[in-house]
């Protein structure tokens, strides 16, 4: 499927999804908001895709958030109840269930932080920067920042949203607070992200799926409940899944394993037995 505001490419078991509005710093307008769920669904439905790299077109920006020119030009959309419709642009918004590596090139601002917050791994280029000017523009900063509150120090996040455009994190500062896990030269960003994705793609798709599912879901629970659910996942998976024995045999026989097809999004351990 082709898109007007996105580019979707495949490299083996890795998909590269590029936000493609460089003339607007890859800000998402109504067209991109409509296309992102379709692209995520295409990725979710393709069993050959095991990992996704998400990045932005051009060198200036990863994503500048919502296109405020469009917002200023028309009344905000409402649903039948009069409420603003929920924005669903990230892999988690769309329940993709596959690992996402975010490669931030240049500016990441406002709603663009949602892509960072909902990624499994985030790396950036040396010229990347992070800011959230939504409160300065009269908007509530919720999308992305609530999940970031579980990933970075709370004061660092509050500085970002309360100081708005007066606070801009450099790549080095983003690394220091754990917003990103690696900083690379701009010309190495895409290749590094793909290398990481290919390394993830070598692993059992099912083991990766259920591991990340348990980790993300644990954030909704206290530790005791999270451990209980995690043990249930291990029990259900180890009893029936063929990758358990295949991984052990491949290790002993010193060969590449032949993994079972990946589970469907939302699957629980034992569903694919």
Count CA atoms closer than 13 A to 78's CA, side-chain side: 5
Token reading at 74: 């028309």
Q: pTM of the predicted model, to two decimals?
A: 0.92
| Confidence band for 84, pLDDT divided at 50, 70 and 90 | low
**CATH code, domain carrying 22:** 3.90.226.10
- Write out pLDDT tens, residues 132-190: 999 998 999 998 999 999 999 999 999 999 999 999 999 999 999 999 999 999 999 99
Same domain, 149 and 235: no
Average pLDDT, the chain: 92
Higher-confidence position of 178 and 71: 178
Same domain, 15 and 63: yes
Same domain, 134 and 19: yes
* Best-predicted range by mean pLDDT (64-78, 115-129, 139-153, 220-234): 115-129
| Confidence band for 1, pLDDT divided at 50, 70 and 90 | confident
C-alpha separations of 63 from 19, 67, 153 in Å = 8, 10, 23
Same domain, 18 and 130: yes
Same domain, 162 and 78: yes
Does the residue 79 lie in any domain? yes
Spatial distance between the Cα atoms of 215 and 205, rounded to a whole number of angstroms:
15
- The pLDDT value given to residue 76: 55
Cα angle vertex 78, ends 26, 157, to 5°?
Answer: 50
| Confidence band for 87, pLDDT divided at 50, 70 and 90 | confident
Domain range enclosing 157: 6-201
Q: 111 near 171, Cβ under 8 Å?
A: no
Same domain, 145 and 105: yes
- Write out pLDDT tens, residues 203-256: 999 999 999 999 999 999 999 999 999 999 999 898 889 999 999 999 999 999
Same domain, 76 and 188: yes
Q: What is the 3-state secondary structure (H, E, C) of 144-173?
A: CHHHHCCCCCHHHHHHHHHHHHHCCEEHHH
Same domain, 35 and 165: yes
Structural domains of the chain, count? 2
φ, ψ at 131 (rounded to 5°): -150, 160
- Write out pLDDT tens, residues 48-58: 999 999 999 99
Token reading at 202: 């070598």
pLDDT at 37 over 60: yes
Same domain, 43 and 101: yes
pLDDT at 109 over 80: yes
| Confidence band for 265, pLDDT divided at 50, 70 and 90 | confident
- The pLDDT value given to residue 69: 78
Give the chain's length: 273
Q: 48 near 8, Cβ under 8 Å?
A: no
């Amino acid at each position: 499927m082709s898109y007007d505001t996105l580019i979707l490419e495949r490299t083996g078991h890795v998909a590269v999804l590029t936000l493609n509005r460089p003339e607007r710093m890859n800000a998402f307008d109504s067209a991109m908001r409509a296309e992102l769920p379709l692209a995520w669904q295409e990725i979710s439905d393709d069993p050959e895709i095991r990992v996704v790299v998400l990045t932005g077109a051009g060198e200036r920006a990863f994503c500048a958030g919502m296109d405020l020119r469009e917002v200023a030009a028309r009344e905000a959309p409402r649903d039948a109840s009069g409420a603003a419709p929920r924005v669903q642009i990230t892999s988690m918004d769309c329940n993709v269930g596959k690992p996402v590596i975010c490669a931030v090139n240049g500016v990441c601002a406002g709603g663009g932080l949602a892509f960072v917050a909902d990624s499994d791994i985030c790396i950036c280029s040396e010229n990347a920067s992070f800011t959230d000017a939504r409160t300065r523009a009269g908007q509530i900063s919720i999308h992305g920042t609530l999940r970031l509150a579980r990933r970075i120090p709370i004061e660092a996040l509050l500085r970002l949203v309360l100081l708005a455009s007066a606070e801009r994190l450099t790549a080095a500062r983003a690394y220091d607070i754990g917003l990103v896990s690696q900083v690379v030269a701009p010309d190495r960003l895409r290749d590094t992200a793909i290398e990481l994705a290919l390394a993830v793609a070598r692993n059992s798709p099912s083991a990766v799926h259920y591991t990340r599912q348990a980790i993300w879901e644990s954030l909704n629970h206290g530790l005791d409940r999270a451990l209980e659910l995690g043990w249930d996942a291990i029990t259900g998976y180890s009893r029936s899944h063929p990758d358990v024995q295949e991984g052990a045999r491949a290790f002993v026989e010193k060969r590449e394993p032949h993994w079972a097809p990946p589970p469907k999004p939302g699957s629980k351990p034992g569903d694919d037995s």
